[in-house]
Amino acid sequence: MLNATHLRGVFPAIPTPVNADDTINVPAAKALIAYLLKQGIDGIVPLGGTGEYGALARAERIRMCKLTVEAVEGRVPVIPGVLDPGFHDALQAGNEFADAGADALMVLTPYYTTPTQAGIREYFLRYADASPLPVMIYEIPYRTRIAIAPEVLHELSRHENIIGMKACNTDMYHFLRVVAGVDDSFAVFSGEDTLLPVHLAAGARGGIVVTASLLPTAWRKVYELASEGRTKESMELHRRLIPLMNLAFAETNPGPMKSVMDLIGVNAPEVLDPLVAPADGLQAALRAELKPLLKEFEGIA
């Protein structure tokens, strides 16, 4: 059973390659996973926001999870996102992903209903009690409009079936307060490409990184430098990736990233409604920024 000791390093949050009919593009998905494994990533997170969870049909979500598990063959953990707003749908998704072979679940803060902190606490405790797999909490308040109080996270971190969190709260003081009080059996992961070396220096054990789907080796180097205490060098490398991040997130993720993934052998630029293809100028600029980075870090000419 996966636990916090297994949660270290760089886990790409991967896009879901799809066909024009909104079904999984199986060859492209397999090519993406093979590329990431070859470059030495530490885990894979399919079906989060980057994976367009909400736009995929439920059957396609299960299919993508199963495909990822089969392609990984146990080499690294597979932790799919569970982004349903209601308890019963979220638990059904967790059971389906468990049946598909996932190692843990990344469960989003319940949204739209705007729960109190007591409601958030009860939701995650109830989910963890019922879940067939270990749970990572997914906190992303700029999407859900709900931040989880550090004190609530401290309590949740002591539940035996809650093993960590993806922290996307960009408030650094909130992050510092979370890390200061969580249990040792709970791994805080950075969920922000833009803050990874800072989060690592402040106590994160790894990162769930969107643009690591394009540049896994570069992001693993950012992680390794920070883990060795070479924070200045980690931040210097991260600084070189800022133009890439600015372009990748200039329109809603994963549209820009999908438009250039043919450069790594994954030709599946389609996005799901309500997303649309990014502007031509943005695609061209991102392509121009990415090419030399791929040559330098990933050995792709």
Residue 301's pLDDT is 72
Per the confidence metrics, is the pTM higher than 0.75? yes
Q: What does the pLDDT look like over 116-131, one tens digit per residue? A: 999 999 999 999 999 9
| Reported confidence tier of residue 181, pLDDT bands at 50, 70, 90 | very high
pLDDT digits (tens, 9 = 90+) for 58-96: 999 999 999 999 999 999 999 999 999 999 999 999 999
Residue 298 pLDDT: 97
Neighbour-count burial for 166-180, b at 16+ CB within 10 Å, e otherwise: bbbbeeeebbebbbe
Quick one: average pLDDT of 242-255?
A: 98
Q: Indicate the annotated binding residues.
A: 50, 208
Distance of alpha carbon 109 from the chain centroid: 15
The burial of 113, by beta-carbon neighbours within 10 Å (0-12 exposed, 13-18 middle, 19 or more buried), is given as exposed
Q: Which residues are catalytic?
A: 138, 166
199-211 average pLDDT score: 98
For 277-298, what is the mean pLDDT? Answer: 98
pLDDT band with cut points at 50, 70 and 90 for residue 28: very high
Token code pair at residue 36: 């990431």
Q: Answer yes or no: are the C-beta atoms of 32 and 213 closer than 8 Å.
A: yes
Binding residue ranges for pyruvate: 50, 208
